Amino acid sequence: MAKQSVSLVNRETSWLEFNGRVLQEAADETTPLIERIKFLGIFSNNLDEFYRVRVATLNRMLDYNKRSGESLSFSPRKVLKEINRIDREQQKEFSGIFRNIVRKLAEEGILIVTEREITRPQGEFVRKYFNQYVRSQLFPIMLNNLKSSSLVDKSIYLAIRLSSSARPGKFQHAIIRVPSKPLPRFVLLPSPDERKFIILLDDVIRYCLDEIFSIFGYDTFKAYTFKFTRDAELDIDNDVSKSFLEIMSESLKQRRLGAPVRFIHDKTMPADLLDILKHKLEISETDTLSKSGRYHNFKDFMSFPDIGRSDLLYAPVPPLEHRRLPRQESILNVIRDQDILLHYPYQSFHYIIDLLREASIDPGVKAIKMTLYRVAKDSSVVNALINAARNGKSVTVFMELQARFDEEANIYWAGKMQEEGVKLIQGIPGFKVHSKLLLIRRKEGEKNVYYANVGTGNFNEETARVYADDSLLTADPQVTADVNAVFHLFESKYNPPKFKSLIVAPFHMRNFFTRMINSEIRNAKNGMEAWCIIKLNNLVDDKMVKKLYQAGKAGVKVRIICRGTCTLVPGIKGLSENIEVISIVDRFLEHSRVFVFHNGGDEKYYISSADWMVRNLDNRIEVACPVNDAGLRQELKTMLLIQLKDNTKARIVNHPDINPYKDAGKTPRIRSQQEIYNYLKGI
């Protein structure tokens, strides 16, 4: 484990260890077989984004260091070397897991076959499929004409060696993109029995290469897969004469021409062909060059085809009804009388859709305001907001155009909403709005009454089925007044108001959490009970880590549930022996941020959109919201304590052994996500 110091883990290697936990799920024999192959897809997709963003940033730092001669506080070259070492080890493990899963699938009568293994009737089917669906999507580029700018990021290509038996030793080369969008990556083949045969689109193309190239006199074809990954960081233009929508649109076009950061190729590719590709694609010595197997872009395995074997998938977990939100009753009326806490995906996100639908047609509702960061492909949230505007409501949306990899979708939805009369507050270059807020203003008698929703995750009905998040519905006047103040903040060019209830970054959040930890430190030094429970996705802010070390040294019991990157090292004698850090990686993606402080017996509970990273605390609009209802506090605490007792899917973070399971082998077995579902089902 590469460390910056004894007490801080490098954030990049920590992230790779998190992705290693995803790989553990693919290796876990207790995970249903098809879910295991989907975890390989998640691992691959995660790694792609890591290279496109984090490795690309390190490459930029390395280049800057060379050009400027300035010394950075760490060596990007050393970090890149360590990343490549870990990546090689994980890729070796990945390949072994994939081979094992393929064997297990075959034992279940599910065979992933190559173009060399199909029967004649299957071959006839493949040719028919190729000519009907695939051929029109293929646009070969002769290698002599290839330019780096011709290649599409996140795609896989076949480098094809063409030859003729009439001219032995004479070769030509071509490049074909495998069109896994818009086509599916997997094709189900006809079977003579009950077995299922699956061929990848790559091999469909391999089987039919003669359909494309034989007219040019070639009769021998050999195809080798490669994948080309670009720098995905955006360079934001500061031209004040352009709207931010225009600036973002132009920046996205530039992303398609980003510098190469990773080149993966079939290890059987001939050296001369590899050299030509490296030259044509401008692959330098600083770019990651990896040998791999026959198939790349395993992210497509996240969409493994439905083969009718539910026994090889997770058992269905139907969303639970919330006992305080009976169907066919006004949600607004319920919220007026009591706070409600929703927990996705255990409970349905459709309560939010129902709330928006009710607000869009309720004659008393006059205005709706909402922040949007990532929305679903066919967003019911956006459609509900558009419907509200059509019904004469004043609808205002802050659409964050800088949501990484969702920029194009957000630009599209921004345009749709503007067309329908929704007032759009556009993002600001260099400054992201990451808070998850909804505010409804309703005229009740002679006064305006406000209703708010503050959440830890996006207003996205698709991800809410797999992301574990918390969402507070409230009519508390202090909370709703502060939510309203946040929206005024957007509209008044960031003149920060004073907040009475919400903790808002970048104005107060860092100082607030520092004060809360300091309070626990004072209590511990005075011999009082002192503890905190911190749940987040990433803990990499050096100042907050050092403050937690200070708390641990003072005797504060610090328990942390951190799914992803964590630079803090627990269990160091004299520094962090009072700190426990676990990560839970399971069926659902742990996404909520929850903070609990003992506070001398007057326990304080907060849910938040913010991790403890510099970007969240100092460079984004983030919100932490107090949970004031005693019953809801107990609900949150019970769920956190269940997770802290997990001995099935919890791993110890930054242990000398990488990713050991916590309390492995102990009984009774506690799998927190299942236990939380059962708990919520019973309350």
> Cα separation of 607 and 592, whole Å?
8
Residues 6+ apart with CB under 8 A from 127: 207, 208, 211
Sequence-distant (6+) residues with CB within 8 A of 667 are: none
Q: Tens of pLDDT along 98-137?
A: 999 999 999 999 999 999 999 999 999 999 999 999 999 9
pLDDT at 244: 45
Kindly report, residue by residue over 308-339, the tens digit of the pLDDT.
Answer: 999 999 999 999 999 999 988 999 999 999 99
Under 8 Å between Cβ of 273 and 173: yes
Bigger pLDDT: 54 vs 18: 18
510 marked as binding residue: no
State the pLDDT at residue 249. Answer: 47
> Which residue reads 């509702």 in tokens?
365
How far is C-alpha 357 from the geometric centre of its chain's CA atoms? 28
**Any idea which of 409-423, 522-536, 668-682 has the lowest mean pLDDT?**
409-423
pLDDT value of position 1 = 41
Q: Which residues pair with 227 in a beta bridge?
A: 156, 264
Q: Where are the alpha helices (DSSP H) in 256-398?
A: 271-280, 331-337, 350-361, 380-390
The predicted pLDDT at position 228 comes to: 82
pTM: 0.92
Calpha distance 208→135 (Å, rounded): 9
Per-residue confidence (pLDDT) for residue 248, from 0 to 100: 43
pLDDT > 50? residue 387: yes
Both tokens of 564, joined, read 């992803």
**How many degrees, rounded to 5, is the angle at CA 24 between CA 22 and CA 26?**
80
User: Whole-angstrom Cα distance, residue 393 to residue 356?
Assistant: 11
44: tokens are 């691959």
Rounded Cα–Cα distance for residues 380 and 354 (Å):
10
**Where is pLDDT greater, at 289 or 251?**
289
Model confidence at 13: pLDDT above 50: yes
1-108 shares its CATH topology with 331-497: no
pLDDT of residue 204: 97
- Mean pLDDT for 576-602 is 98
Q: Please choose, from the candidates 423, 452, 378, the residue with its C-alpha nearest in 3D space to the C-alpha of residue 623.
A: 452
70 confidence band (pLDDT: 50, 70, 90): low
Residue 265 is labelled as binding a ligand? no
Cβ-proximal residues to 456 (8 Å cutoff; 6+ apart), any chain:
436, 469, 470, 471, 591, 592, 593, 594, 607, 608, 609
State yes or no: 563 annotated in a binding site. yes
CATH 3.30.870.10 fits 504-682, yes or no: yes
What are 524-535's pLDDT values in tens digits? 999 999 999 999
Identified catalytic residue from 173, 265, 434, 598: 434
Side chain identity at residue 637, one-letter code: K
Q: Write the DSSP assignment of 60-112 as a string of letters.
A: HHHHHHHHH-PPPSS-HHHHHHHHHHHHHHHHHHHHHHHHHHHHHHHHTTEEE
pLDDT-based confidence at 578, cuts 50/70/90? very high
Residue 3 has pLDDT above 60, yes or no: no
What does the pLDDT read at residue 287?
58
129: nearest Cα among 192, 226, 203 = 203
434 is catalytic: yes
**46 assigned to a ligand binding site:** yes
The share of the chain scoring above pLDDT 70, in percent, equals: 91
pLDDT at 74: 76
**238 is an annotated ligand-binding site residue:** no
Q: For residue 469, which of 605, 339, 340, 607 has the smallest C-alpha distance? A: 607
Annotated domain spans of the chain: 1-108, 331-497, 504-682
| Alpha-carbon span 513 to 612, nearest angstrom | 10
More confident: 110 or 286? 110
pLDDT interval class at 252 (50, 70, 90): very low
pLDDT in tens, 613-633: 999 999 999 999 999 999 999
What does the pLDDT read at residue 97? Answer: 96
467 is in an annotated binding site: yes
In the predicted model, what is the mean pLDDT of the chain?
90
In this predicted model, which residue has the larger pLDDT, 519 or 245? 519
The residue with greater pLDDT, 18 or 247, is 18
Class of domain 331-497: alpha beta
Q: Give the per-residue pLDDT at 247.
A: 45
Which is the CATH superfamily of the domain at 1-108? Answer: Polyphosphate kinase N-terminal domain (1.20.58.310)
Residue 63 has pLDDT above 50, yes or no: yes
pLDDT digits (tens, 9 = 90+) for 187-238: 999 999 999 999 999 999 999 999 999 998 999 999 999 988 877 654 444 4
Confirm if 250 and 196 have CB atoms less than 8 A apart: no
Report the amino acid identity of residue 407: E
Please give the average per-residue pLDDT across 496-503, as a whole number.
Answer: 92
What digits encode the pLDDT tens for the residues 159-190?
999 999 888 878 999 999 999 888 999 999 99
CA atoms within 13 A on the CB side of 378: 0
Cα distance between residue 330 and residue 577, in whole Å: 50
Counting DSSP H helices and E strands in the chain, the numbers are 19, 26
In 233-320, beta strands by DSSP E? 260-266, 288-292
Q: What is the reported pLDDT for 6?
A: 55
Confidence label for 506 from pLDDT (cuts 50, 70 and 90)? very high
230-244 pLDDT, tens per residue? 776 544 444 444 444
pLDDT for the residue numbered 234? 47
pLDDT band at residue 296 using 50, 70 and 90 as cut-offs: confident
